[in-house]
Amino acid sequence: MKKFGLLSMLTILLLSGCQKKDAYLTVLKDPDNIHHSMKQLSDVIVHDIFSPPVASRIYVYPSIAAYEAMLPAYPDYKSLAGQLHGLTPTPQPDTTRTICFELASVHAFLKIGTMLIFSEDKMKEYQKNLYAKLKPTMPSDVWDNSLAYGEEVAAHIKAWMDGDNYKQTRTFPKFSITDEPSRWKPTPPAYIDGIEPAWAKIRTMVIDSSSMFKPAAPPAFDMTEGSEFRTKVEEVYRVVNESTPETKAIASFWDCNPYVSHQTGHVMFATKKITPGGHWIGITNIACHVAKADFPKTVEAYTLTSICLFDAFISCWDEKYRSNLIRPETVINQYMDENWVPILQTPPFPEHTSGHSVISTASAIGLTSLFGTPFAYTDSVEVEYGLEPRHFNAFLDASSEAAISRLYGGIHYMPAIEFGVDQGKKVGELIVSRLEMEKK
């Protein structure tokens, strides 16, 4: 009996030691480590007031780094090397060392994310606090090996990232304003210059080029009575003037304008808001929680959504600065009603096509490919900005509402919305058809 008791005790101690040693396997597989890191990145993007196109770049590279770093632990997932323009195979890990690839994934995400924002201290403080919780769960050698592999993957992604023409576009001249009646002009109250006029020069991820899905042109500028263009302008004017509490709520929910300015006397200040891409990253978070997505599925979802956002913004911005169309606010003030103001503040770039229509549709198609349809969820992304949550039964229902919100808000004509939805549909469908993330 004594021998049996001693043997049982040794067995329990051995198992207990193994469980403690391997505790990190459970802790690090928690997808909240990625969710919280992404939320921190979103918060910093809002704080630093990045433009919607630039924000899409800040989301995509950390997501791809996280995805590539986790792959050695998940053989059912396929590398994006050779699938994304210019991305070469990621360095493979040293198989003689024990590595926690979930930690490597989080570390690669944070490493790249910190490179892309201004408030590095906020990301570093978050990382410090997160690692203080995670490190005690893991043997020191595994910890060091995992961070080292995350660094290696991040360095590889950074080298690829640096070739996307972003740095070169920082040196391009500002957008030139002309007196031509149809052309975009800065709008009140801040009269900000057109943002990112050269964004079409950024290297795409999946689509062949920025102009691959060139949408139909907007109606020709013509403010004579009965013209197609004037009819579209009058539609915006009427919809805003006859707005209801529901249309106002929809417009506000999908505003996502990081440039909202307020003027009191001679003092101007800004209200910080999440970008359109940030809203869809938030929807991705919600979808993962509803679907109870595990660590790899969560990373896949963020990666696919961010790729859809990135290419959709490039496609949209290519058309914006090609058609260079004047905004409803400018036209209505000049030709119809000098005191008219839209429900939403007009963002600082040309009108056609609608950014939310393009990027929301592309993102919705990406999410639908992962989680299916119908997919009921409550969108609470804007609650922290003082707005009520909204319920949707499918991602494409949400993207349709996001698109029409631009008419309700008075900042887009219907052609920009309709053609933008079609443009986003083509971008999203191509990405989903070309990318193979889960091995078949």
**Three-state SS for 261?**
strand
Closest CA relative to residue 154, chosen from 83, 248, 62: 62
| Beta strands 261-264 and 390-392, pairing class | unpaired
Are 77 and 183 within one domain?
no
The CATH number assigned to the domain holding 31 equals: 1.20.144
Count Cβ atoms within 10 A of the Cβ of residue 373 and give its class: 0-12 exposed, 13-18 middle, 19 or more buried: middle
The model scores a pTM over 0.85: yes
Residue 11's pLDDT is 44
Residue 21's pLDDT is 62
The residues, ordered by sequence, that sit 6+ positions from 199 with a Cβ below 8 Å of its Cβ are 53, 169, 313, 314, 317, 318, 321
- Tens-digit pLDDT profile for residues 364-396: 999 999 999 999 999 999 999 999 999 999 999
Domain end among 100, 132, 167:
167
Q: How confident is the model at residue 13 (pLDDT cuts 50, 70, 90)?
A: very low
- Tens-digit pLDDT profile for residues 314-362: 999 999 999 999 999 999 999 999 999 999 999 999 999 999 999 999 9
CA distance 424 to 419: 9
> Residue 16 falls within a domain, yes or no?
no
Structural domains of the chain, count:
2
Are 129 and 231 within one domain?
no
Are 295 and 327 within one domain?
yes
List the domain range (segments joined by +) for residue 122.
26-167
| Residue owning tokens 């007009």 | 346
Are 159 and 195 within one domain?
no
The residues, ordered by sequence, that sit 6+ positions from 225 with a Cβ below 8 Å of its Cβ are none
> Residue 310 falls within a domain, yes or no?
yes
The CATH number assigned to the domain holding 224 equals: 1.10.606.20
- Tens-digit pLDDT profile for residues 219-236: 999 999 999 999 999 999
Q: How confident is the model at residue 272 (pLDDT cuts 50, 70, 90)?
A: confident
Are 136 and 193 within one domain?
no
Are 269 and 148 within one domain?
no
Are 406 and 270 within one domain?
yes
Cβ density class 254-293: b for 16+ within 10 Å, e for less? bbbbbbbbeeeeeeeeeeebbbbbbbbbbbbbbbbeebeb
Are 381 and 419 within one domain?
yes
Are 248 and 358 within one domain?
yes
Contact 197, 174 (CB under 8 A): yes
> Residue 407 falls within a domain, yes or no?
yes
> Residue 143 falls within a domain, yes or no?
yes
CA distance 135 to 257: 38
The DSSP annotation for 39-60 comes to: HHHHHHHHHHT--HHHHHHHHH
Domain end among 112, 147, 167:
167
